[in-house]
């Protein structure tokens, strides 16, 4: 192959785009086990999701299988293995925050289930995002009963 041929091939190829820290990437699942998920990022890089980062409220990780497309956020890289470290959980939280902002702008009501109560109000947890509803925002029927 001559240099001219290589130049033509190179012009037709997809430019390499290295994922940046904090960027949400979409990729196809290469492999999924109970301990880790490997993701193909643009056919150029591989990402790994493991531990607490495998769980989110929107995706049931037990349902994720080879070939599925998932969104994850880049939280680091493992230079020794050449893998990007990804998180389904943090990507899910970012999407949730964007949805909550949208709900606020459109004044759409959301339903939450409190997981704890104190004298000041109710505590909620939406996919790892903690929230507080002060007692002043509750109807008397929903006041927390704290002993």
Domain of residue 67, CATH code: 2.40.50.140
Same domain? 43 vs 102 = no
Same domain? 76 vs 110 = no
CA distance 31 to 52: 17
- 27 found inside a domain: yes
pLDDT at 22: 92
- 147 found inside a domain: no
- Domain housing 80: 3-89
- Number of domains composing the chain: 2
Same domain? 24 vs 83 = yes
pTM above 0.85, yes or no: no
Same domain? 98 vs 82 = no
Which SS3 state, helix, strand or coil, does residue 66 take? coil
pLDDT tens per residue across span 50-105: 988 887 655 555 678 899 999 999 999 887 888 999 999 899 888 888 988 999 99
Whether the predicted pLDDT of 1 surpasses 50:
no
Tally of CB atoms within 10 A around 85 = 19
Same domain? 20 vs 81 = yes
Mean pLDDT of the chain: 84
In order, the DSSP letters of 30-64 are EEE-SSEEEEEETTTEEEEEEGGGG--SS--GGG-
Same domain? 131 vs 78 = no
Same domain? 52 vs 103 = no
């Amino acid at each position: 192959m001559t240099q001219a041929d290589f130049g033509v091939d190179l012009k037709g190829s997809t430019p390499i785009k290295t994922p940046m820290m904090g960027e949400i990437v979409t990729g196809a699942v290469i492999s999924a086990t109970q301990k880790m998920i490997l993701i193909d990022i643009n056919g150029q890089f591989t990402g790994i999701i493991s531990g607490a980062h495998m769980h989110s409220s929107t995706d049931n990780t037990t349902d994720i299988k080879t070939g599925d497309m998932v969104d994850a956020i880049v939280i680091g890289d493992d230079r020794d293995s050449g893998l990007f470290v990804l998180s389904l959980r943090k990507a899910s939280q970012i999407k949730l925050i964007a949805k909550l902002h949208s709900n606020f702008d459109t004044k759409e009501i959301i339903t939450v289930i409190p997981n704890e109560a104190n004298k000041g109000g109710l505590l909620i947890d939406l996919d790892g995002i903690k929230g507080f509803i002060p007692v002043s925002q509750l109807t008397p029927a929903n006041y927390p009963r704290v002993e």
